[in-house]
Structure 1
Amino acid sequence: MNIIKRQNETRDILLELVAVAFLATGGIFVKFSALSPINTGFYRVLFSFPFLFLLAYKHLKQLTKKDVLILLIAGVFLAGDVALWNLSFSYTSVANANLLTNLTPFTVIPVSYFLFKEKIPKFFLVGAAITLFGVFVLISGKANPSTSNYFGDFLAFCASFFYASFLLIAYRLRDRLESSVIMFVSSFGSVTALFIFSLFVEGVQVPHGVEQLWPLLALTFCLQIVGHNLLAHCQGKINVNLSSILCLAQPAIASLYSFVIFSERLSIKEIIGIIIVIAGVYLVKAQYDEKEYNYKASIKNEDQIDEVSERTL
């Protein structure tokens, strides 16, 4: 198997931030949905099948039976993330739910180091620590904390482990498979698991009319088709550790969305937390820029040495 060398180029990082911005809209449409949280997640995935098939069908021949099985398992992990994340919006703010679900570096970084042998730049952990510090400043800045807030925070935090598992599987499969294939096949696992969850927790619900359908279609487009699909694409271009840190920009974006749309108050402490998160993400990105620059410089020097040696001979 050919392993892709992730270049961590600026354009791909910007593309992932676009994906993150789309993913950050999830809380908005979940709050607008008339259906229960898990049913909302179920229809979000179900409605994506025709669109993802159009993107993936030319590449489905790449799949092996093992790939299909792994992707179905990945889909179940994504379903766990979707179910817990959607439920968390009933108890906590859009900003906090997005924030805690994206604490994937706690899982991704150690697993990728031991399992995938991903090297970590010298000051990577410093940037990651600053980012995570900003995250905790943001969550501690609640204007009106309550028991239900913290229960919602707990649900979102649990969702982060399911999300991290999905990201790690998608990251490794991106060495061989297109992002659309990953999203299309894994959706079968997601929709099955979400249907079972909704059956036992909420009962099956059927949307009626434009008023109930539009939030579901918006979720399908913004998250399933654009957000996760684009994020999976970027995982073939960006190191998994950097990618997981970039996802921490989502809470900051979600905070701005919730402030504008739902008038969710942002305290001074929360604003400071957002600024710290952005600073940490920038520092982490700078570490990979320096690493890539040093790598290219070493290659250039080796080429120059080879050229001098050839002339000498």
Structure 2
Amino acid sequence: MPPSRTAALLILLASAAVLGLAPILVRLADTGPAAAGFWRFAFALPLLGLLVARPGQAAGEGGPGKPSPLMALAALFFVLDLSFWHYSIVFTSVANATVLTNLTPIVVTAAAWLMFRERPRALFLAALVLALAGAWTMSAGADGRQGSNPRLGDLFAAVTALWYAGYFLTVKALRGRVSAGRIMLWATALGAPLLLAVSLALGEPLAPASTGGWLACAGLGVVHVVGQGGVAWSLGRLPAALTAVTVLIQPVVAAGLGWLLFAETMTAVQLAGAAALLAGVVLAQWASLKKKGAEAEAAAPVP
């Protein structure tokens, strides 16, 4: 395996694990769902500004530059993703919201096949099915109560998968010519006022009511830079479909933290689902490596 690809896989796995902190911090934020997203962006912006202004940038990549229409589209997709996902948890059961939102890899795999000619191998598709089955089993095995409007919540969760897939694919298209830091900076800067507008329009409590809430919001900013930034960086070096499957380890991390911090026990069914999900991630990476090896062998000159 090339060192650059190994580094990209390790960074992607670490970033996905960091993103597993997000639902825990949202619960601790002590504010409205969209407002938590706004503070996530607000606290991330100074860090992203320092990131793109750091010395040693490649030629043409120093400074923030100017936003492009695709960056604005990425911001819109991400704002819709956060807003719909947070409210789907309010309206329906956590199990349903998690299962339907995890349809994202299916959308990304199909779209990447059409847009980027990243044709998946049969083994990769099997890994995708295994990972999604594990995610579904983790959610279905939980004792979740129905929310105030289950049908609307289920619809919001399903649509969330489309928004996140749109964000993935937009960033993938940008990464061919723009640094991950610059993409994250402008997607966050353009998305922050939109999330603020959503929060105000819905009459949410905007400011956290406790010091712990403020710390959780600041933590969301760090998670955004490290976690989502790492995913954006990896999209410039790995196939979009592989990246989308790998980030499915987030529910495993979130469930483990929920058990440690909130005494939320996992059933035997959920543990089996977590094992299947992780196995799917490993199998997907192996399938992608086999595809790269076959392509390299086919491209090698005949002696």
TM bracket, shorter-chain basis = 0.7 to 0.9
CA distance in 2, matches of 1:27, 1:275: 21
Contact 1:31/1:89 (<8 A) preserved: no
* Partner deviation per Cα, 1:222-261 (whole Å, 9 max, x = no partner): 1x21011111001111111111110111112221121221
Provide the identity percentage.
Answer: 26
Instruction: Tell me the CA shift for residue 98 of structure 1.
Output: 5.4
In the alignment, what sits opposite 1:179? 180
Where in structure 2 are the equivalents of 1:227-306 lying within 5 Å? Answer: 227-299=227-299, 301-302=300-301, 305=303
Where in structure 2 are the equivalents of 1:207-226 lying within 5 Å? Answer: 207=208, 210-222=211-223, 224-226=224-226
Where in structure 2 are the equivalents of 1:56-205 lying within 5 Å? Answer: 56-57=52-53, 59=61, 68-90=68-90, 100-147=100-147, 154-203=155-204, 205=206
Contact 1:91/1:148 (<8 A) preserved: yes
* Larger displacement relative to structure 2 (232-241 or 188-197): 188-197
* Partner deviation per Cα, 1:133-174 (whole Å, 9 max, x = no partner): 222222221235435595656543332211111110001111
CA distance in 2, matches of 1:24, 1:15: 14
Contact 1:8/1:288 (<8 A) preserved: no
Question: If the length of structure 1 is used for normalisation, what is the TM-score?
Answer: 0.84
* Larger Rg over CA atoms: 1
Structure 1 residues 273 and 254, CA, compared in 2 at 3 Å: closer, same or farther?
same
Structure 1 residues 261 and 157, CA, compared in 2 at 3 Å: closer, same or farther?
farther
Instruction: Tell me the CA shift for residue 192 of structure 1.
Output: 2.1
| Amino acid corresponding to residue 248 of structure 1 in structure 2 | L
Instruction: Tell me the CA shift for residue 54 of structure 1.
Output: 1.2
CA distance in 2, matches of 1:227, 1:77: 17
In the alignment, what sits opposite 2:43? 47
Contact 2:32/2:205 (<8 A) preserved: no
In the alignment, what sits opposite 2:20? 24
Contact 1:7/1:292 (<8 A) preserved: no
CA distance in 2, matches of 1:144, 1:119: 37
Report SS of the residue matched to 2:112: helix
| Amino acid corresponding to residue 52 of structure 1 in structure 2 | L
| Amino acid corresponding to residue 44 of structure 2 in structure 1 | S
Structure 2: state its 5+ residue gaps. none
Structure 1 residues 208 and 252, CA, compared in 2 at 3 Å: closer, same or farther?
closer
CA distance in 1, matches of 2:95, 2:227: 17
Contact 1:95/1:252 (<8 A) preserved: no
CA distance in 2, matches of 1:263, 1:196: 35
Figure out how many residues of one structure are paired with residues of the other and give that number. Answer: 295
CA distance in 1, matches of 2:63, 2:29: 37
* Larger displacement relative to structure 2 (160-169 or 260-269): 260-269
Instruction: Tell me the CA shift for residue 266 of structure 1.
Output: 1.4
Structure 1 residues 109 and 206, CA, compared in 2 at 3 Å: closer, same or farther?
same
Contact 2:249/2:277 (<8 A) preserved: yes
In the alignment, what sits opposite 2:8? 12
CA distance in 2, matches of 1:53, 1:106: 33
* Larger displacement relative to structure 2 (255-264 or 100-109): 100-109
Structure 1 residues 20 and 102, CA, compared in 2 at 3 Å: closer, same or farther?
farther
Report SS of the residue matched to 1:86: helix
* Larger displacement relative to structure 2 (86-95 or 278-287): 86-95
Contact 1:138/1:271 (<8 A) preserved: yes
What RMSD over aligned residues (CA atoms) do the two structures have, in Å?
2.6
Contact 1:39/1:202 (<8 A) preserved: no
